[in-house]
Amino acid sequence: MTTTRQRTDATQRVWNALQDVTDPEIPDISVVELGIIQRVEATDDTATIDMCPTFAGCPALDYMRDDIRKHVTAAGFDHVRVNIVFDPPWTTDRITDEGRRKLKAFGLAPPTKCSGGPVTEAIIRDVACPFCDSHDTTLESIFGPTLCRAIHYCNACRQSFEQFKPVE
Ligand SMILES: [Zn+2]
């Protein structure tokens, strides 16, 4: 991959360290797979990471920021700076395919891709069950246990499940 080859070794080391930083609410998915790492710059002992918050006011943000700092420091960088950037805003479309697979394995329906369009109620309602892939599902509550999640019920396998809500 050209992009990988163009990165300096130091930058690549930071990306590798970031693969181990996970969202506390979804233990398996890394911040890279979530698509919230905007930019990484690194020299011998200094690393700068720009990350964008997923959901405004997400309580996990401070935790993830500290965790990023910890992991990158452990990768051999003495000076680690984590900036929170809001532009361009994060959207659920930035979650990688691997990230989506992990969400599903976790029993959490991946967000529907909105391809830049607005998130309509129809988009939120049309979701496949992460357990049996049926689209015969009903939206039960638009607010799950966290702001980021909606609760659905699968009429096919009769289980309720959470969906990582799409965000435009
Ligand atoms: Zn089902």
CA of 24 to the centre of ligand 1 (A): 26
Q: What is the mean pLDDT of residues 90-101?
A: 90
pLDDT band at 59 (very low <50, low <70, confident <90, very high): low
What pLDDT is recorded for position 89? 81
Give the pLDDT band of residue 56 (cuts 50, 70, 90).
low
- List CB contacts of 116: < 8 A, sequence separation 6 or more: 91, 93, 168
**Count of C-beta atoms within a 10 Å radius of residue 91:** 19
Determine the distance separating the centroid of ligand 1 and the alpha carbon of 45, expressed in angstroms: 49
Find the 142 Cα to ligand 1 centroid distance in Å.
18
Q: Cα of 160 to ligand 1 centre, how many Å?
A: 8
Using the predicted structure, report yes or no on whether residue 6 has a pLDDT greater than 50: no
Q: Global pTM?
A: 0.80
Task: Tell me what pLDDT residue 161 has.
Answer: 94
Domains located in the chain, CATH noted? 2-84 (3.30.300.130), 109-164 (no CATH)
* pLDDT attached to residue 75: 95
Which position has the token pair 């979530």? 34
Instruction: State in Å: Cα 124 to ligand 1 middle.
Output: 16
Length of the chain: 168
Rounded distance from Cα 38 to ligand 1 centre (Å): 35
In angstroms, what is the span from residue 23 Cα to ligand 1's centroid? Answer: 25
Distance CA 40, CA 2 (A): 17
Q: Is residue 166's pLDDT more than 90?
A: no
Average pLDDT over residues 67-96: 92
Six-digit token string for 78:
């003495």
The pLDDT tens digits for 104-138 are: 998 999 887 766 677 777 888 889 999 999 999 99
Which residue carries 């049926």 as its tokens?
A: 134
- Centre of ligand 1 to C-alpha 118, Å, is 26
Residue type, 75: A
Q: How much distance in Å is there from the Cα of 159 to the middle of ligand 1?
A: 6
Name the least confident of 28-42, 45-59, 99-113, 126-140: 45-59
pLDDT score, position 53: 80
pLDDT score at 2:
42
